[in-house]
Structure 1
Amino acid sequence: MIFNTIKQALLICLILQIGSAFFNSAAYAQLQQIKPITTSEIGIGIGGANYKGEISPNYRFLNNQPAMTVFYRHNISAPLSLKAALMGSHRIFNDKAFKDESQELPYHDWRNMDLKLSMIEFSLGMEYNFLDYYADIRQPHRVSPYFFAGVALLNYNHQLSREGDILEAFDNKFTVAVPFGVGVKYALSKQWNLGLEFGARKMFNDVIDYLNEDDDLSVANPFNKDMYFYNGINLSYTFYRINCPPVYKRKAGVLD
């Protein structure tokens, strides 16, 4: 109970930090005066989604199922970027995909069922660039590793079946997760960027695999919540905006 309360408090603090970054207009106006140029990006990515929990206790690359993401990134300063993303995957979880001769999965064998899972995730987060990626936009080739963290709203559907007979039909559920991870971005040209990203999503429940402490108290581990992952490659296009000094502005606009 105490551990869950601490995690919820940390999540609230994280949301407040992200919200202050979005809505602190005074700080944003100051950044506009300092930076002569601000940039925004729209992008698309493909990769794989994965799961870790009772059925598959360790991350295994071969368990990845196809996933896709679209995102918008706004660079508020040299090291910091705000990012909104939508990620989707169909059948990221399949009991049969986890079993092979190299793994001993007792929960998988005990249940002897097939679980199909699809999900859509909307996330808001902040990226920290370790190198000055946006220092000199005249340089076409730039690179920087980065770290990101944020908050996500997850909508997922799952179906439980055994030997073709559906035991539990597709249902529709929502939950909150905390995405975090690392990546690297590389400027192919002044406008185009290539990126690689690996991120984990920490959940606050234990039901994404249809195996939880309420229904299967003797099997599920209540102290080890489920997690899911996204790793992939992305391509983005950069839009540049030249910020005129206040003395040259005729009329303040919505974004000024």
Structure 2
Amino acid sequence: MKKVKFNLFLFSLLLSSLSLLALVDVKAQQFEFGGGLGVATYSGDIVRRLDKGNLGAQGTLFGRRNFDNVWSLRLGLSYGRLSATDSINPIDAMAEFRDAYFKGNLFEVSAVMEYHFLDYLHPQSAHRFSPYGFFGLGFSYFNGSGAFGFDPSNPDRGGYSLATPVIPFGIGVKYKLNNNWGLALEMGFRATFSDLIDRIDSQARFSRNDDGQVDPLEQIRFTYYGNPSDRDWYYFLGLTVSYSITTVKCYAY
């Protein structure tokens, strides 16, 4: 029940961000619309660190409102292809025995605030680029399939899906091509509230003999199937292009 209430709370914050776009005085804003392509990857019980061998396709569409030369609100809809397998580079003996894999499609909606470190938006600025950071809230839905190689009869084999709140944050750099068009290179981190994107949790699974019995030695050895203290993460790296629609005179402080 607490988890449901927390998810509803985060969803209400996203709706509030959407409402903010409509309520703030349009006459004093600049809008941007755009999209981009890149790569996605994950870390969890199968892959503990960023690994270029597990990259998948990533894409995004977004709308942005620049409140001034420093702060912006961005609403985004993103897609990522995530996958990993124990068989390529098992992290330990448990992973080698487990021989698990997963793959699937992830969809995310998010609202983030961006902070620009240089005043590159001002028409008279000496800078055509600016590094920036962002932080916000989001919600993701993952639909995938997975299996554990050591036990073909395991009921966990096959398709599955899950939804989880996420905390998106990261860094990037923007470059203004002209008054309307801009480019951005961004690295984004997503902290999830789930340990099941890779379909591996801390519950032990054991292969059984012909009598359906678990070897006592195996039961002792493989009690900890996954890490119960870690949540799964995923990451986006991409290049975006945006088009600006200015509805006000030049910004001035």
Question: What's the TM-score bracket when you normalise by the shorter of the two chains?
Answer: 0.7 to 0.9
C-alpha displacement of 1:139: 6.4
The share of aligned pairs that are identical, in percent, is 28
Task: Indicate whether 1:127 and 2:106 are aligned.
Answer: no
CA deviation digits over 1:14-40, x for unaligned, max 9? 9759947953988x44x95xx5xx311
**Which deviates further from its counterpart, 14-23 or 174-183?**
14-23
Unpaired runs of 5+ residues, structure 1, are 244-256
Equivalent of 2:175 in 183, 186, 196: 186
CA distance in 2, matches of 1:71, 1:236: 9
CA distance in 2, matches of 1:51, 1:24: 31
CA deviation digits over 1:200-225, x for unaligned, max 9? 10011211111112456612112111
CA distance in 1, matches of 2:13, 2:79: 26
Q: How does 1:139-218 map to 2 (within 5 A)?
A: 142-161=128-147, 162=149, 168-214=157-203, 218=224
CA distance in 2, matches of 1:54, 1:200: 17
Whether the 8 Å contact between 1:54 and 1:107 is mirrored in structure 2 is: no
Task: Indicate whether 1:95 and 2:79 are aligned.
Answer: no
Whether the 8 Å contact between 1:194 and 1:235 is mirrored in structure 2 is: yes
Equivalent of 1:229 in 213, 230, 235: 235
Pairs aligned (count): 225
Whether the 8 Å contact between 2:46 and 2:84 is mirrored in structure 1 is: no
Q: Counterpart of 2:103?
A: 116
Give the TM-score, by structure 2 length: 0.76
Q: Counterpart of 2:76?
A: 85
Question: Are residues 113 and 223 of structure 1, via their aligned partners in 2, closer, same or farther at CA, if it must alter by over 3 Å?
Answer: closer
CA distance in 1, matches of 2:17, 2:142: 29
Whether the 8 Å contact between 1:143 and 1:187 is mirrored in structure 2 is: yes
Whether the 8 Å contact between 1:94 and 1:117 is mirrored in structure 2 is: no
Give the TM-score, by structure 1 length: 0.75
C-alpha displacement of 1:198: 0.2
When the two chains are superposed, the root-mean-square deviation of aligned CA atoms in Å is 3.3
C-alpha displacement of 1:141: 6.8
C-alpha displacement of 1:80: 0.7
